[in-house]
Structure 1
Amino acid sequence: MAKQALGPIRRSFAPWDDPEAKPLIHFRGVTKRYGDFTAVDGIDLPIYEREFHALLGPSGCGKTTLMRMLAGFEEPTEGDVLLDGASLKGVPPYRRPVNMMFQSYALFPHMSVEKNVAFGLKQDGMAKSEIADRVAEMLTLVRLQDFAKRKPHQLSGGQRQRVALARSLAKKPRVLLLDEPLGALDKKLREATQFELTDLQVDLGMTFLIVTHDQEEAMTVADRIAVMDQGVIRQVATPAEIYEQPASRYVADFIGDINILEGRLEKGANGISRLVVPEDGLVVETDQPVESDAQNAWYAIRPEKLRVSLDQPADIAVNTVSGEIWDIAYLGDVSIYHVKLDNGTIMRATTANTTRLVERPISWDDRVWLTWDRNAGVVLTS
């Protein structure tokens, strides 16, 4: 039986939880060196058919190098890249059933939209009638059928992005590689296009692999995310698991905003773990079972899990800390509070603005109390 997912998932699809499932793509012990520099270090990563998989990490972490090895533009120094169980060693890029959509789109400026989409099909020697039908199908798919005769400079950024997508899909590859595909779009258009991409991927039943440094983008589009750092993978999981159950401080800190407190770990009764933060006089209780002999640990809690109050709670023994409002950011839908604790630590709390009027607004220099539930945060030992 498949394990219960942590948090919402985009669809009922989890072949990685099936021990009998075979991956479509398998990076097996892959290392890539450039002289003395190791760009990718011993990565083992299976990706399954029909999965939308994201490689997420900062610049220089090795994610694009990993994608380029799948595309055939780079060869592994060690290890192998498998597709359907067969090695891709020595197979040139044009003979691999994968296609790449580049961040720059790389459209031919002198060609019309339909000729850009048809270019790869002509190179493959497809019959003219088949090319016309395929181009019409692709332009309808990306809702650009009325723009077939236009040149790229006559299109908006979002339209050019869709032309590049149509061209990448025209040859019907087994795998579509997306290298920072939405980086040139403005925020609202980028958000809308992310949902279009996910719907398109499900409708086509294809395998998509996206490289991005944008956390929100990865969280929106992907079934699973591989978080990379300095050539290695720190965690592979669904977006909800990455956010709610990070495997390390690096992952917790890289994905979204978080407060991290260091303390001494104590195992209590009835499955309750305690973390004592001496400098804050804070005791954290959590119902998370901690399988570790480590004495020092870290407690990570997201800003939206904290409650902010001007009134002292009745129970201040555990999961409660007091501080002074240091900064406030009003973003319309939410307000962000920076609370300075007595020892100088700054904690960040986020509150949804569910009403237009606030009877007792929290303001600068106010003394407030932060409280949270036992299941609100996560204990990390690395």
Structure 2
Amino acid sequence: MNSLGSIRRSFAPWTDPSAKPYIEFRNVTKRFGDFTAVNDLSLSIYEREFFALLGASGCGKSTLLRMLAGFEEPTSGSILLDGQDLRGIPPYRRPVNMMFQSYALFPHMTVEQNIAFGLKQDGMAKVEIEQRVAEMLKLVKLSQFAKRKPHQLSGGQRQRVALARAVAKRPKVLLLDEPLGALDKKLREETQFELMDLQQKLGLTFVVVTHDQEEAMTMADRIAILDKGEVMQVATPAEVYEAPGSRFVAGFVGTVNIFEGKVSAREGVAATIMTDGGVIRSENASDATVGSDVAFAIRPEKIKVSSKEPAPGIDNAMQGEVYDIAYLGDMTVYHVKLPSGQVVRASALNAARVTEDPLTWDDTAWISFRPDAGVILTR
């Protein structure tokens, strides 16, 4: 059986019909006055899953997190954790901990005092606190910074202190609200992998809110894409990218070319679509029916650009003109304008230092792609 994308790990309880969700949102609605932040939303998250809530600002992802933490109550519906309804349970009695984007460290306390704070509040014995703090410092590689104050640390180090403090109480679920938003790009990329390793070591369930699709794709086992308080799709990063469930998801995650058209023929899993750009044959027709209006979505890296016309009989070949070029080092992005006026984005990996088929502005170019390279969307 072929799988979409690379294999991340064998962990996939959502494929097991007998597996019981650890966190459940059941028909949850949250209104603030006349504004509906979350609209009749249902969602299941499994134990030890790294789950991402992804969406633009105002889509309801942070509201979901705050309801799970206990800072907000649903207007209707229920939230369950390990089978227990959380309604009416205050935040400090829930087996969850939340790490905020601002980190919220105490400036007058040292690193070890910050980490120990919650443990002291819980009345843990002094010897146990010292052991737990030492364990956490080692886990986040900050043992040598134990006596420093937050202002003496870098942004990445402060982020790790906040993380250590959040997991020190060993919550069942760790909630992370835009946890890497304050870091620069390079540090953010490094920290993504650190978070993944930490989650694996601790065996906790992580629920992260982010608007950064690359962050969600890198870290999460599954992603829920939200729009206007509703779930548009829940799937693995590879499925979201390679098999988006709608035009919205295809356009929201990564870069995509969309060809609007009508299905003229259907044969098994394949379909032929008539578009303004030309005839497209796709082997990923899903539930498209003959005569229906559909969209064909294809990622730029799946499209080949060449100055040479493909051999006769090749499916999905279209002639156009090079409209724009962007050299990005590892790849070159071409914008090819078709006679219909549609501009198609195609990217070519720069595997060699010298380009064998140099194309420049206003050149005639051919784009082509395999029948299994894109997907037909019916909604």
TM-score by length of 1: 0.97
SS at 1:197 equivalent: helix
Aligned to 2:51: 53
CA contact (8 A) 1:114 1:149 kept: yes
CA contact (8 A) 1:288 1:378 kept: yes
> Residues 266 and 364 of structure 1: is their aligned pair in 2 closer, same or farther, counting only changes over 3 Å?
same
For the pair 1:312 / 2:309, whether they are aligned, the reply is: yes
CA contact (8 A) 2:285 2:375 kept: no
Aligned to 1:283: 279
Q: C-alpha separation between the residues in 2 aligned to 1:185 and 1:245?
A: 31
Matches within 5 A, 1:269-280: 269=267, 271-277=269-275, 279-280=276-277
Q: C-alpha separation between the residues in 1 aligned to 2:221 and 2:269?
A: 31
Q: C-alpha separation between the residues in 2 aligned to 1:271 and 1:185?
A: 45
> Residues 316 and 259 of structure 1: is their aligned pair in 2 closer, same or farther, counting only changes over 3 Å?
farther
CA contact (8 A) 2:263 2:288 kept: no
> Residues 292 and 324 of structure 1: is their aligned pair in 2 closer, same or farther, counting only changes over 3 Å?
closer
Q: Residue 300 of structure 2 aligns to which amino acid in structure 1?
A: P
- Residues 246-265 of structure 1 deviation map (CA, whole Å, 9 limit, x = unaligned): 00000000000000000011
Q: C-alpha separation between the residues in 1 aligned to 2:5 and 2:269?
A: 22
**Runs (5+) with no aligned partner, structure 1:** none
CA contact (8 A) 1:47 1:53 kept: yes
Task: Give 1:148 deviation, angstroms.
Answer: 0.2
Task: Give 1:5 deviation, angstroms.
Answer: 4.3
Task: Give 1:65 deviation, angstroms.
Answer: 0.1
SS at 1:311 equivalent: coil
Question: Over aligned residues, Cα RMSD in angstroms?
Answer: 1.3
- Residues 62-106 of structure 1 deviation map (CA, whole Å, 9 limit, x = unaligned): 000001000000000000000111100100000000000000111
SS at 2:353 equivalent: coil
CA contact (8 A) 1:259 1:348 kept: yes
Aligned to 2:123: 125
Aligned to 1:265: 263
For the pair 1:376 / 2:373, whether they are aligned, the reply is: yes
Aligned to 1:362: 359
**Runs (5+) with no aligned partner, structure 2:** none
Q: C-alpha separation between the residues in 2 aligned to 1:86 and 1:337?
A: 53
SS at 2:53 equivalent: strand
Aligned to 1:112: 110
For the pair 1:170 / 2:164, whether they are aligned, the reply is: no
- Residues 193-215 of structure 1 deviation map (CA, whole Å, 9 limit, x = unaligned): 10111111111111000000000
CA contact (8 A) 2:306 2:366 kept: yes
Aligned to 1:300: 297
Q: C-alpha separation between the residues in 1 aligned to 2:68 and 2:315?
A: 50
Task: Give 1:35 deviation, angstroms.
Answer: 1.0
Segments ≥4 residues shifted beyond 4 Å = none
CA contact (8 A) 2:28 2:40 kept: yes
For the pair 1:28 / 2:26, whether they are aligned, the reply is: yes
Q: Residue 151 of structure 2 aligns to which amino acid in structure 1?
A: H
CA contact (8 A) 2:315 2:369 kept: no
Q: Residue 284 of structure 2 aligns to which amino acid in structure 1?
A: Q
SS at 1:104 equivalent: coil
Q: C-alpha separation between the residues in 1 aligned to 2:252 and 2:230?
A: 15
CA contact (8 A) 2:306 2:357 kept: no
Aligned to 1:322: 319
SS at 2:267 equivalent: coil
Q: Residue 103 of structure 1 aligns to which amino acid in structure 2?
A: Q
- Residues 304-328 of structure 1 deviation map (CA, whole Å, 9 limit, x = unaligned): 0000000111136630111111111
Task: Give 1:267 deviation, angstroms.
Answer: 2.8
Aligned to 2:340: 343
Q: C-alpha separation between the residues in 2 aligned to 1:35 and 1:5?
A: 45
Matches within 5 A, 1:12-27: 12-27=10-25
SS at 1:268 equivalent: strand
Q: C-alpha separation between the residues in 1 aligned to 2:263 and 2:311?
A: 25
Q: How many residues align?
A: 378
